[in-house]
Amino acid sequence: MHKLHHSLDLHFLITVHTKFAPYWCFGLIEQLFRKTRVNTLSEIAGVVKDITVTGVNSPQLVGLEDGTVLVESYDWQQHLMKQDQHFSYFLFYSFDALEPSVVVYSFDALEPSVVVYSFDALEPSVVVYSFDALEPSVVVYSFDALEPSVVVYSFDALEPSVVVYSFDALEPSVVVYSFDALEPSVVVYSFDALEPSVVVYSFDALEPSVVVYSFDALEPSVVVYSFDALEPSVVVYSFDALEPSVVVYSFDALEPSVVVYSFDALEPSVVVYSFDALEPSVVVYSFDALEPSVVVYSFDGLEPSVVVYSFDALEPSVVVYSFDALEPSVVVYSFDALEPSVVVVTKERSDSVGTRFQLLHNTDILPPIDGLPVQAPPGLDTV
């Protein structure tokens, strides 16, 4: 009013309470007042003065019984009540010259609320406090020049939450914090111009997880991180236009593995990498339209091998490559409709010749097929 102060704090005390240090002084006055006969204001002042030897309490009358005014004062209560009859409902007001603001409060029976408009030069804002009985909330609108935002605090009894809307020029986003008792979560929506995405953090007690949805124009994808106590895993869904795929990483304690599903238009396939401690392996399932096949690579410590299953329409076959340290071999099973056969190539030792590979006749290992004897081609007895 007179520009003597840049800021002012106005307090309304809680009923029947005094404030801070004077509290014990009022207690002393009350003790002597109960034991003293008091009929005039001067006698009350005497009680205040005599309560302590050191004169902690100094009485000052503001007026006398005859109406004489000793200390002039303004009728602040009447002045403030003219402004608003609910002024004293609030216990604290702060007035700052550097941060002017307006407070609008509504005592509507159905939806009481308070709205605070702050005209701060650096960060103007609006805060809306809603005291709705079913869903109380606080909404903060920040008009910061660099990063305007809106934050919504919902105090819903069943599902309290916080939602943050950021209008950053480079990377606008929305973050939803859900404090649901059964499944708390955080969801981050990023509206980045180059790589928009959604990330869902689930804090479920039984199966916490993170799911990342990427809407990249060239390679959209979904990645699911599961932190299950028994079988943690990562699943990557790639929606690449040329070669869509799904990759499953399993971190199972007993049998960790990686499975790659490729949905390539020309040659779809599934590859299973098993990191089993006793028998690690790789299995390749190829769904090629002309020559579908399955290839099994076994990295067993004692007997590593490769088995190739070919489902060729004209000449289906199975080829088994065994890399046994003592007796490596190759076995070829041909299921040709006209000439089915089995060919076994083994390795033997010779002191004079060295290592030789012996080709065994079909007749050595199989009975005749369909009543016909099967012979190895001439000249191929020894290879």
Nearest to 270 by CA among 284, 289, 290, 250: 284
Is 367 part of a structural domain of the chain? yes
Strand pairing partners for 176? 163, 187
Is 343 part of a structural domain of the chain? yes
Q: Which residues of the chain have pLDDT under 50?
A: 349-383
How many structural domains is the chain composed of?
2
Counting other chains too, the contacts that 342-348 makes at CB distance below 8 Å and 24 or more residues apart are 342/366, 343/376, 345/383
- Whole-prediction pTM value? 0.66
Nearest to 213 by CA among 233, 229, 232, 191: 191
Is 154 part of a structural domain of the chain? no
CB of 349 closer than 8 Å to CB of 355: yes
Is 361 part of a structural domain of the chain? yes
Is 220 part of a structural domain of the chain? no
Is 32 part of a structural domain of the chain? yes
Kindly state the helix (H) or strand (E) to which residue 238 belongs, with its residue range: strand 233-238
pLDDT of residue 91: 64
pLDDT in tens, 191-226: 998 899 999 999 998 899 999 999 998 899 999 999
For 362, the 3-state DSSP assignment is: helix
Query: Of 96, 127, 145, at which residue does a domain stop?
Result: 96
Query: Residue 296 contacts by C-beta under 8 Å, 6 or more apart in sequence?
Result: 281, 282, 283, 284, 305, 306, 307, 308, 309
Is 91 part of a structural domain of the chain? yes
pLDDT of residue 378: 43
pLDDT in tens, 256-290: 999 999 999 889 999 999 998 888 999 999 998 88
Query: Of 96, 130, 148, at which residue does a domain stop?
Result: 96
Q: Which domain holds residue 327?
A: 315-383
Query: Of 72, 96, 120, at which residue does a domain stop?
Result: 96
Is 303 part of a structural domain of the chain? no
